[in-house]
Amino acid sequence: MKKKFFIFFIICLIGLIVFFLGKNLISEEERVKKTLKIAEESLEKKELSTFIKQISFEYKDSFGFTYATLYFFVKDILNRYDKIKISLSQITPRIEGKEAEIKLIGEGKAIDFSGNSVREVGRFIIRMKKEGNRWKIVYFGEDEYSFQ
Q: Give 39: exposed, middle or buried? Use CB within 10 Å, 0-12, 13-18, 19+.
A: buried
Segment 119-147 shows an average pLDDT of 91
Domain membership flag for residue 10: no
CATH code, 79 = 3.10.450.50
Residue 9's pLDDT band (boundaries 50, 70, 90)?
low
Cα distance from N-terminal residue to C-terminal residue, the chain: 73
- Residue 63 and residue 144: Cα distance in Å, rounded? 14
* Contact predicate 98/130, CB 8 Å: yes
Domain membership flag for residue 17: no
Name the domain count of the chain.
1
Does residue 15 surpass a pLDDT of 70? Answer: no
Tell me, what's the pLDDT at 18?
A: 61
Q: Strand (E) positions, 18-133?
A: 81-96, 99-112, 117-131
Domain membership flag for residue 12: no
| Domain containing residue 113 | 27-142
Tell me, what's the pLDDT at 25?
A: 76
Domain membership flag for residue 148: no
Does residue 4 surpass a pLDDT of 70? Answer: no
Least confident stretch, 15-24, 57-66, 92-101, 113-122: 15-24
Average pLDDT of the chain is 89
Tell me, what's the pLDDT at 10?
A: 73
Segment 94-120 shows an average pLDDT of 95
* Contact predicate 128/135, CB 8 Å: yes
Residue 26's pLDDT band (boundaries 50, 70, 90)?
confident
- Residue 138 and residue 26: Cα distance in Å, rounded? 22
Domain membership flag for residue 104: yes
* Contact predicate 119/109, CB 8 Å: yes
Does residue 11 surpass a pLDDT of 60? Answer: yes
- Residue 136 and residue 128: Cα distance in Å, rounded? 5
CB-based contacts of 84, cutoff 8 Å, min separation 6: 43, 44, 46, 77, 78, 108, 109, 110
Position with higher pLDDT, 26 vs 2? 26
**Chain CA centroid to CA 47, Å:** 13
- Residue 129 and residue 14: Cα distance in Å, rounded? 33
